[in-house]
Amino acid sequence: MRGKVTGVKIKSLLAAALLACIGLGVYYADLFEAAFLFNPVPRTAKSIARGRQLFQQNCAVCHGAEGRGDGVAAASLRERPDDLSRIAPPPIFPDGIVAYRIKNGVKMMPAFKTTLSENDTWDLINFIRSLSSRANR
């Protein structure tokens, strides 16, 4: 009888683990998919200029004019906003993940999926990516 109880426990644990994996897979499916998205908008001067304008309108208050996390609202936040001039380039930190975070928010950052169009998001990413090249000059 003892062997049956152990077998039932093992099966129950395996079933619970399987359900947890499925649940996490469903929950993070969009994030996983985003990791494989590439920016369809070429990183041109025009796209970066549009991204800069969007950044000034939507992001600079927290992230600062050059994305260093030193915006006027940063001091009043529990956590300092990320320094966007230091985010890792793809493939370490793919553009699709940056887009996912912009659209869905992260930590204290609000979601912008209802505020920014798809092209706006990619232009914004082109500007954010340009910040790291400026910081390295």
pLDDT tens figures, 17-57: 666 666 656 666 787 888 899 999 999 999 999 999 999 99
Q: Convert the pLDDT of each residue in 60-106 to its tens digit.
A: 999 999 999 999 999 899 999 999 999 998 888 899 999 999 999 98
- Do 55 and 118 reside in the same domain of the chain? yes
Residues 19 and 51 in one domain: no
DSSP readout, 88-131? PPTTTS-HHHHHHHHHH-BTTBPP-TTTS-HHHHHHHHHHHHHH
Q: Which domain holds residue 14?
A: 1-28
Q: CATH number of the domain that 78 lies in?
A: 1.10.760.10
Using a cut of 0.85, tell me whether the model's pTM lies above it. Answer: no
